């Protein structure tokens, strides 16, 4: 056990977050996301929601303040302007927890998959809400 680290952050996830460098990206994905087949290492967090994992990750990882889009979600297919419940929740968490809060930007579904395939890692959660996926770009520790 460690102090001031959310217990939801497993040893594998803590190791990964520490190994990431500035500009590396992590995907927090819902239960429907193709986390194991898309490319990067997939860390399982089946007992947690994407919102819970996002909040825990942002307590230890800074968002990149040098880019306009440090947080990206997947657009709703057929309605790019729609904002799913999970994304509204993600924005609230970013606004409250992130050291560099930023508005979430979105990508078309297949562009999101391509970006996720180049990420450092994917955390596959048990999130059941549709479009409960977010890509975070790691910032610097000052």
Looking at residue 118, its pLDDT comes to: 97
Closest CA to 13 of 23, 30, 27, 3: 27
- pLDDT value at 3 more than 90: no
pLDDT in tens, 30-75: 999 999 999 889 999 999 999 999 999 999 999 999 999 999 999 9
Among the options 12, 69, 89, 113, which is catalytic? 113
- pLDDT value at 1 more than 80: no
Among the options 24, 30, 64, 131, which is catalytic? 64
Looking at residue 83, its pLDDT comes to: 97
Looking at residue 56, its pLDDT comes to: 98
113 catalytically annotated: yes
- pLDDT value at 103 more than 90: yes
Question: CB within 8 A of 100, min separation 6: which ones?
Answer: 62, 63, 64, 65, 70, 139
Among the options 15, 22, 95, 118, which is catalytic? 22
Looking at residue 91, its pLDDT comes to: 98
Mean pLDDT, rounded, for 13-19:
97
Looking at residue 14, its pLDDT comes to: 96
Question: CB within 8 A of 92, min separation 6: which ones?
Answer: none
Looking at residue 78, its pLDDT comes to: 95
Looking at residue 63, its pLDDT comes to: 97
Pair of tokens at residue 4:
């001031």
Looking at residue 2, its pLDDT comes to: 78
64 catalytically annotated: yes
- DSSP codes joined into one string, the chain: --TTS-TTS-HHHHHHHHH--TT-EEEEE-TTS-TTTSSSEEEEETTS-HHHHHHHHHHHSPBPSSSS-SEEEEPBTTBTT---HHHHHHHHHHHHH-SS----EEE-HHHHHHHHHTSSEEEEE---STT--EEEEB----
């Amino acid at each position: 056990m460690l102090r001031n680290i959310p217990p939801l952050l497993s040893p594998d996830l803590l190791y990964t977050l520490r190994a990431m460098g500035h500009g590396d990206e992590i995907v927090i994905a819902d239960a429907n996301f193709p986390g194991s087949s898309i490319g990067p290492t997939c860390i399982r967090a089946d007992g947690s929601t994407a919102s819970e994992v996002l909040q825990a990750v942002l307590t230890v990882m800074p968002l990149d303040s040098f880019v306009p889009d440090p947080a990206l979600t997947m657009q709703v297919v057929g309605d790019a302007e729609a904002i799913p419940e999970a994304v509204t929740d993600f924005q609230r968490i970013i606004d409250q927890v992130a050291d560099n809060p930023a508005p979430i930007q979105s990508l078309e579904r297949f562009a999101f998959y391509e970006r996720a395939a180049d990420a450092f890692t994917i955390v596959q959660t048990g999130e059941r809400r549709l479009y409960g996926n977010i890509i975070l770009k790691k910032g610097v520790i000052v």
